[in-house]
Structure 1
Amino acid sequence: MPAPTHLKNDHLQNVGIIGLGIMGSAIASHLVTAGYQTFGYDPDERCSEEAASIGVMTQTSALEVAKRSDLILLSLPHDQALNETVSHILNSPDVTRLKPILIDLSTLNLAVKKRNHDSLADAGIKFFDCPISGTGAQAKTGDIVVYASGEADTYHSLIPLFNCFARRVFYIGKFGQGTKMKIAANLLVAIHNVATAEALTLAINSGLDAEMFCEVIASGAGNSRIFELRSPLMAKGTYTPPTMKLATWEKDMAIIKQFAEEMGVSTPLFTATSPIYEAAIQQGLGEQDTAAVFAVLQNMTKPSQSSISSG
């Protein structure tokens, strides 16, 4: 297969992606469309089959992907998955000889990322910390942002790759700065999501039409990207398929909490949202979209005693 015309470096044409879930599969689709030879792996057979149907050359293991790729994107659910993936790579003479570039798109514990970065560096393998801002739905349309961090010189050669699946790419600085930016961004997301649910609950309980409320607020000062994305889901009570599962978001909440504590930063607004997300998990909504916090607030709300009617 000829190299895509937008590539600056022919040696970056074979791209692997490990993790083909909501985010990974969306990114893989863009890679295939852009003309990259795209190799992929996911332990979930269903995810692998869906990726194969869009042109991803699925493999039987993460190591097989690494052996075939000059550059490997990681879209992983937890720290253990990153540790295992890096361990497999470091224990393979074939892969360490090829020295592929690794790019972690996941939101994971910063200390865990740094440990793996140091281990890979000892083997002469470059590792970039490039978490993504956006949902799976946004990833499908390329409406996501990359917070890139790592070696500056090599970063510039990766920009064409990022541009094929992201709306914006920011170089944040040395390795780890991307995750710091993502954690701060996620703190805002946590608050905006619950604030959207709270405002919509108030509006409906006062007799306002839910769809009209979403349209009007989206045009004014109270708007946010999270409001635009999640308020329509809340208004319709539609939380599947998820753009971000509550069970996955629970991991991100823990990362924010730990990092804020390590930095000695008080987070009263973020802390106030935690019981709402926890209640959603306890109510069995873990596999649904984070917009389902609206259902939690609805259950907490007493029927309106207001004389205001929707008529």
Structure 2
Amino acid sequence: MKLGWIGAGKMGLPMLASVLAAGHAVSVFEPQAEARERARQLGATPVAHAADVANGAQAVFSSLPDDAALLATAGIILDAAPAGLIYVDTSTVSLQASATVASAAQAAGVQYLRAPVSGTPVQAQARALTTMVSGPADAYAAARPLLALWGERIHYLGAGEQARSMKLVLNLMVAATAAMMGEALALGSKGGIAWQDMLDVMDTSAVASPLLKVKTASLRERDFRPLFSCEQMAKDLRLILAAGSDKNVPLPLAALASQLNTASIAQGRGALDYIASVLTAEATAGIGPVQSPETMTP
């Protein structure tokens, strides 16, 4: 197929790589020169303007950072879209912004799929993402083989904004898990449990989950390099709390997770992975510097 792609960042690039590996011809727009070059090396054709990705395309995908980027990008794509184009956005954005795009897409005769993904860049590289989809059912049927290229776990949830809501549901659980792990590890450290022993028990206990195991793997090495930063989590928590307010759903745990994440940012950890909640909890509990992984006992 002839496809267009906008956004070749941490998540967009490995997803794009899977599409290219399947033999599709992809025009890509990416404003960052380094990411654009990586996409070119994978076999994509860089274009100078976002509108150019829609030229002759059967479908256009986007992986974008926020509401403003989606609204701006969608406006460009819809203006340039050929009749019958399928537009698939994989970003994490608000229900309101997504609904605005849906209305504009309908007016332009474009089939708009909301297709946010769950997973890390590592899972994207392994083609193990989970994709949540909502929008026109016939467009979903047509696009499903492409969505499956970055992960077989695909859930069609309805014709409206259900996929956007589902992504916020999952990210609320992720944020709460990070807050929980920070407090639990601080408590265990103060209880005299060796760092590696705590992580070993967590990994084999009833509370173990795929997310927890991903995070304990990095925590073993005290590795806080960002797969998803505290700043990015702050954006998602704002979306979650806004959705709760809009739907009259009290979200006290989300509010607390947001405050704890804000504390991480205030203490200079905004660019670290969101599991830096562990560092924030340690600082709050008065736990001193941790030793090297070989002798690690907080």
User: TM-score normalised to the size of structure 1?
Assistant: 0.87
Counterpart in the other structure of 2:243: 259
Moved more, 243-252 or 281-290: 281-290
| RMSD (Å) for aligned C-alpha atoms | 1.7
8 Å CA contact retained: 2:56, 2:82: no
* Shift in alpha-carbon separation, 1:16–1:90, aligned structure 2, 3 A: closer
- The 8 Å contact of residues 54 and 81 in structure 2, kept in 1 or not, is answered as no
Contact 1:77 1:106 in 2 (8 A): yes
- C-alpha contact (below 8 Å) 2:133/2:155 kept by paired residues: yes
Paired AA for residue 63 in structure 1:
A
SS at match of 1:147: strand
Query: How much does 1:303 deviate?
Result: 4.1
The whole-number CA distance in structure 2 between the counterparts of 1:90 and 1:284 is: 40
Residue segments in structure 1 that go unaligned for 5+ positions in a row = 1-12, 305-309
CA distance in 2, matches of 1:214, 1:303: 17
Could you say which residue in structure 1 is the equivalent of 2:51? 63
How far, CA to CA, are the matches of 2:142 and 2:91 in structure 1? 20
**Deviation at 1:195?**
1.0
Contact 2:203-2:216 within 8 A present in 1 as well: no
1:158 and 2:143 are equivalent in the alignment: yes
- AA paired with 2:75? S
1:196 and 2:206 matched: no
Match of residue 72 from structure 1: 60
- The Cα of 1:294 is off from its aligned counterpart by 1.3
Moved more, 277-286 or 181-190: 277-286
Residues of 2 paired with 1:90 and 1:155: CA distance? Answer: 18
Is the CA contact 1:152–1:174 (under 8 Å) kept in the aligned structure 2? yes
Task: Identify the range of structure 1 (265-274 vs 16-25) with the bigger mean alpha-carbon deviation.
Answer: 265-274
- Aligned residues of 2:135 and 2:159 also touching (Cα < 8 A): yes
Alpha-carbon separation, structure 2, partners of 1:66 and 1:283: 43
| 8 Å Cα contact 2:6/2:63 also seen in 1 | yes
Give, in whole Å, the separation in 1 of the partners of 2:76 and 2:172: 33
Pair 1:298 & 2:282 matched: yes
Counterpart-to-counterpart distance in 2, 1:295 and 1:180 = 30
| Structure 2 unmatched runs, 5+ | 289-296
Between the aligned partners of 2:96 and 2:38, the Cα distance in structure 1 is: 33
Per-residue CA deviation, residues 154-177 of structure 1 (Å, 9 max, x unaligned), is 211222111110130001011211
Aligned to 2:272: 288
CA apart distance, 1:221: 0.9
Identity of aligned residues (%): 27
Which residue identity does 2:249 align to in structure 1? V
